[in-house]
Structure 1
Amino acid sequence: MHLSDILRAPKVVLHDHLDGGLRPATIIELARECGYRALPSEDPAELAVWFRDAADSGSLERYLETFAHTCAVMQTRAALERVAVECAEDLAADGVVYAEIRYAPEQHLEAGLGLDEVVEAVNAGFREGERRTGGRITVRALLTGMRHTDRSLEIAELTVAHRDRGVAGFDIAGGEIGNPPARHLPAFQHLRRHNCHYTIHAGEAVGAESVHEAVQVCGAERIGHGVRITDDITVHDDGTATLGPLAAYVRDNRIALEVCPTSNLQTGAAKDYATHPIDLLRRTGFRVTLNTDNRLVSGTSMGEEFAHMVTAFGYGPDVFEEFTVAAAEASFLPLPERRRLIDEVIRPGYAALREA
């Protein structure tokens, strides 16, 4: 699959953090505007390299430290709108036709904005980004509660309040070790009472027990990352695999895994692309989706994630269509919109690629 084909391929991203995908030049400009002086560089190219190098530690906790700089410059309505507009533009340029972008509203209150104002600013930016790209991309927000704070119920209530106004669902993120998802059970109960979608980061820095808790205790519809589900899979010498009860449950109930290969290498959840568990998960029938996680911090894009999979596993249009359709099916869009996206955008796009 050639680079030009990868760029043209319709893509769906379900796991992409707004504060992890800023343009380096934008960070520098916003830092000057707000007086933030702690950036490690004011050269865009050098700053991009710094983020990538800082994230390549093999530790999720160290990886998360890089977000102090991006969040610091995302504290005003104008800054949030700009970042959201550029997010939509950059994804559309990468061939993304639908995106669910997550962020934690509680991390953008330092300059006096309220939670509702943060959500309204980001949503306004996404709508403007959609307009500037001529409708080539649809963007919805996921509001994130942080695992290490006590505001998850408040953010869940915010999610319900802004549902159908650009917010598609809820997420829990942050350091996984020592912060189990069940700690935020009241938030998930509130979302279920109001029939609201949610996904949970699990199985990234902690093993299959984290996925079990997210699914069986907290009722997750999707799992952010989830690659440590392989702890419950036994691979035999002949290449066949036996699924344990948790892995079989996740697979059989079509609970989507939001897999982010490059990020997994950086945080130590995988050793390299060639041995990344995404291929095992795909071959054993899981609903696998391919994602970026953090485009700036991981130095990646959906196109680059596709390219890594071509090199590692020889994937072609058929497999990428499989991933993309799976992501659309697992999205938090209403069913008619999912069907339209698949039937009118994704499948025709891949059919055109095969014809070419």
Structure 2
Amino acid sequence: MSTRTVLTVHDLRKAPKVLLHDHLDGGLRPRTIVELAQSTGYEGLPTHDVAELGRWFQEAANSGSLESYLETFAHTCGVMQTEDALIRVAAECVEDLADDGVVYAEVRYAPELFVERGLSLDQVIKAVQAGFTEGERRAEANGHRIRTGTLLCAMRQHARAAEIAELAVRYRDAGVVGFDIAGPEAGFPPTRNLDAFEFMRVNNAHFTIHAGEAFGLASIWEAIQHCGAERLGHGVRIVDDIKTSADGEVQLGRLAAYVRDRRIPLEICPSSNVQTGAVASIAEHPIGLLAKLRFRVTVNTDNRLMSGCSVSSEFAALSEAFGFGWADVQWFTINAMKSAFIDFDQRLDLINNVIKPGYAALV
């Protein structure tokens, strides 16, 4: 990998970036949460002070536990139970990503989490898609072109995966590009949802699986070999199958070699991994080794509110820790674009006509 002057957030915001792993309910603006709580009657917020609320989310997420980290979503989901709220949150999500220089994003959410006040799953999906369309319109009006694809998630601890997979196929011509399962890994292996993944496969539809974040190699192996995952949501624990000797020689185990050889994309989320205890620090994150070994690594935000991050800030932290320069950022970005769930010609168009020219102007 190249070594250059550390790239700053200001520098990186100018670069075209691609985001594959970002949760809609993990990226709300604190002010929006306060205003939606007031307008929808949600009374569970720990504070109505915007600045304090933003700090609270980050501090609550810095627990070192995935389960505790996930508890913060009670508040964001709590204010996203109406069509108007969903449209607003989705539109602002796209605006914020475009303002950070993201040119293509796949944003995921679980429709089943937003039906507490009577919305149907179809109403949820249509509201979010309307919000994404409005966000793209606003972004373009501000000089930022962005394309947004939707990933529908099923919560792995519930029993609605087949139903959500059917919705992902039904809405795939209306902006939904794929399917995922999310939620706590321990005790809820991906094989619990084999029927959903089989449905996606027979319908020639795309899916990724959260695996190898809080749980280890078994979760990754099941996601790939039993379920047929095209990408791994996080996948950071693949490093457990890589051994480095005292003299620096690296040896890949069978699973790690398979993941690398098959070019299975890893949706790495550095700051989130530190917060949930998957890794000790950014400086100790295995992304440096995985990139050096040329796994198909991508850089993602996971939950921008909880981590207080953007794609640019994630790259800035990695640049400081590992010396990544523009050539590396471009490599990560093209990895992500190659791994997106949109048509090949559309991916190629963004790579050749947006991403490569964008970096050529920066190098």
Q: What is the TM-score of this pair, normalised by structure 1? A: 0.98
Partner in structure 2 of residue 95 of structure 1: 101
Q: How does 1:195-274 map to 2 (within 5 A)?
A: 195-274=204-283
3-state SS, counterpart of residue 133 of structure 1:
helix
Give the match for residue 136 of structure 2: 130
Q: Compute the displacement of 1:2 (Å).
A: 3.8
Deviation at 1:181, TM superposition (A): 0.3
* Letter matched to residue 167 of structure 2: L
With over 3 angstroms needed to count, the CA separation of the structure-2 counterparts of 1:3 and 1:205, relative to structure 1, is: closer
Amino acid at match of 2:323: G
Match among 6, 10, 17 for residue 4 of structure 1: 10
CA-CA distance at 1:239 after TM superposition: 2.3
- Find out whether 1:60 has 2:66 as its counterpart: yes
- What's 2:304 paired with? 295
Where does 1:1-150 land on structure 2 (aligned, <5 Å)? 1-134=7-140, 136-150=145-159
Tell me how far 1:238 sits from its aligned partner. 2.6
Same amino acid, percent of matched pairs: 60
Q: Deviations over 1:114-164 (max 9, x none)?
A: 111111100010011101111611111100000100000000000000002
> In the alignment, which residue of structure 2 is the partner of 1:166?
175
Alpha-carbon displacement from aligned partner over 1:36-59 (angstroms, at most 9, x marks no partner) = 111011011100100000000100
Q: Deviations over 1:181-230 (max 9, x none)?
A: 00000000000010100000000011111100000000000000000001
For the residue of structure 2 that corresponds to 1:49, the secondary structure is: helix
* Conserved 8 A contact 2:9-2:313: no
Structure 1 residue runs without a partner (length 5+): none
**Alpha-carbon distance in 1 for matches of 2:215, 2:27:** 24
- Match for 2:178: what amino acid? G
Gaps of 5+ in 2: 1-6
Secondary structure of the structure 2 residue equivalent to 1:270? coil
Q: How many Å separate the matches in 2 of 1:115 and 1:56?
A: 32
Whole-Å separation in 2 of the counterparts to 1:95 and 1:243:
35
Question: How far, CA to CA, are the matches of 1:346 and 1:120 in structure 2?
Answer: 30
The alpha-carbon deviation at position 294 of structure 1 amounts to: 0.1
Tell me the TM-score normalized by structure 2.
0.97
Equivalence for 1:352: 361
> Take 1:317 and 1:89, find their aligned partners in 2: how far apart are those partners?
24
SS of 2:247's partner is: coil
Aligned residue for 2:22, secondary structure, equals: strand
> Aligned-residue CA RMSD in angstroms?
0.7
Counterparts of 1:321-332 in structure 2 under 5 Å? 321-332=330-341
Q: How many residues align?
A: 354
SS for the counterpart of 1:141 is strand
